[in-house]
């Protein structure tokens, strides 16, 4: 029969020398398995007298525990080594260029943005920008929303905490504050397009708390409502890629324009399918008007000398209409399947001469 001390030495030595998980398992079976050496000694205990059995049993149990622990520890070591070795052989060089087609796509928001900028740039508009966190003056007061004016409520404004000086900034509710920033800073003639993010506390099929608008502003000494109509007609035909698109202007109200109008484009909804440019029905597409004299005054311009027009439209709305995207909220879901379906090829920048949306 094995001597317990020798057995302990043998087994621990074998465990330490085991080179892989298989060898380790063989040791486990040879020691603790049904016919293993420790198991064999355990069976032998039955033939001993009680005193000797107690002492030998305790010694044997201690060795059994110790060997089991050594097996576990060695197993963990070997597993860590194996993982390390695998990681070394399977390392990916992330600096290598991708071998095949790139799988990224341009988001429809970006695509539409670039298309609109390309069209207005062709007409001589410069892109202007303003901050998304606005003060009350630029978002409302200078745009002829007097304090307490009900139209302020219509905007479902996100207010920031009141500052120490008592003022309260807002997340801009439209891109119209960029009109003010431009007119305060630059002398006419002015011809700008201001694309950007806007915010309103609203969320359903057709509203998201953040969305995008395009603001247009033209100021000089002679621009009149006819120019406004011609400019927007030209834009819509270029953007929707439809010649002789029917359009109409309906009287409307904005505090910062007078007269104000909403522009509709002709469409048909036959068979439940929306077709832009076909006759019969109308689709509301943007708000516009002649810049209000109070707005010119607030920017230090003399309304007797200067005049012009402004317009504002929703980027997601015109993207949905052109590309048949039914739900506004999906723009912001970051769903890759959606992006692969509605996205555009990268490096294919829209230009008016090259075709906007190939």
**Neighbour count for residue 87 (Cβ, 10 Å):** 9
Q: Which residues contact 188 (CB under 8 A, 6 or more apart)?
A: 219, 220, 221, 301, 306, 308
Cα radius of gyration rounded to whole Å, the chain: 38
State which residue, 27 or 143, has the beta carbon closest to ligand PHE: 143
Distance of closest approach, residue 116 Cβ to ligand PHE, in angstroms: 14
Residue 162: DSSP 8-state: P
Evaluate whether 151 touches 257 at the Cβ level (below 8 Å): no
Touching ligand PHE, residues 138-177 (CB under 6 A): 174, 176
CA distance 151 to 170: 15
Choose, by CB under 6 A, the member of 15, 119, 288, 318 that binds ligand PHE: 288
Q: Which residue of 254, 306, 331, 342 would you call a contact of ligand PHE, by CB under 6 A?
A: 254
> 115 or 215, CB closer to ligand PHE?
215
Q: Tell me which residue has its CB nearest to ligand PHE.
A: 312
- Tell me how many residues contact ligand PHE (CB under 6 A): 11
Write the DSSP symbol of residue 188: S
Q: Which span sits near ligand PHE by CB under 6 A: 49-57, 119-127, 187-195, 304-312?
A: 304-312
Q: Are 219 and 192 in contact (CB under 8 A)?
A: no
**Which residues ranging from 177 to 206 are in contact with ligand PHE (CB under 6 A)?**
none
Peptide bond into 143 cis (omega under 30): no
Among the listed residues 289, 295, 299, 318, the single contact to ligand PHE using CB under 6 A: 289
User: Which is nearer to ligand PHE, 196 or 312 (by Cβ)?
Assistant: 312
Residues at the site binding ligand PHE, with contacts judged by CB under 6 A: 174, 176, 215, 254, 257, 287-289, 310-312
């Amino acid at each position: 029969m094995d001597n317990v001390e020798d057995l302990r030495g043998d087994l621990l030595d074998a465990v330490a020398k085991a080179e892989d998980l298989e060898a380790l398992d063989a040791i486990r079976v040879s020691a603790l398995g049904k016919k293993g050496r420790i198991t064999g000694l355990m069976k032998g205990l039955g033939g001993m007298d009680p005193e000797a059995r107690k002492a030998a049993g305790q010694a044997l149990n201690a060795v059994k525990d110790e060997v089991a622990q050594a097996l576990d520890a060695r197993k963990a070591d070997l597993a860590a080594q194996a993982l390390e070795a695998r990681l070394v052989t399977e390392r990916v060089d992330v600096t290598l260029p991708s071998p095949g087609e790139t799988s990224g796509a341009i988001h429809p928001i970006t695509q539409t943005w670039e298309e609109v900028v390309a069209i207005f740039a062709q007409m001589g508009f410069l892109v202007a920008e303003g901050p998304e966190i606005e003060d009350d003056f630029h978002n409302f007061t200078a745009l002829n929303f007097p304090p307490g004016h009900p139209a302020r409520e219509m905007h479902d404004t996100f207010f920031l905490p009141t500052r120490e000086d008592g003022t309260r900034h807002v997340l801009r509710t439209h891109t119209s504050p960029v009109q003010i920033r431009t007119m305060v800073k630059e002398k006419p003639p002015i011809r700008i397009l201001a694309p950007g993010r806007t915010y309103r506390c609203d969320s359903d099929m057709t509203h998201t708390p953040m969305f995008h608008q395009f603001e247009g502003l033209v100021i000089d000494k002679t621009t009149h409502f006819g120019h406004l109509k011609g400019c927007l007609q030209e834009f819509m035909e270029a953007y929707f890629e439809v010649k002789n698109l029917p359009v109409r202007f309906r009287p409307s109200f904005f505090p910062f324009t007078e007269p104000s109008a909403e522009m509709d484009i002709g469409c048909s909804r036959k068979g439940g399918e929306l077709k832009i440019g076909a006759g019969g029905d109308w689709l509301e597409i943007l708000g516009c008007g002649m810049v209000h004299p109070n707005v010119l005054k607030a920017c230090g311009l003399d309304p007797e000398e200067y005049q012009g027009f402004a317009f504002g439209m929703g980027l997601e709305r015109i993207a949905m209409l052109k590309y048949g995207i039914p739900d506004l909220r999906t723009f912001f879901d970051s769903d890759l399947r959606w992006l692969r379906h509605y996205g555009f090829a990268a490096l294919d920048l829209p230009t008016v001469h090259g075709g906007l949306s190939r």
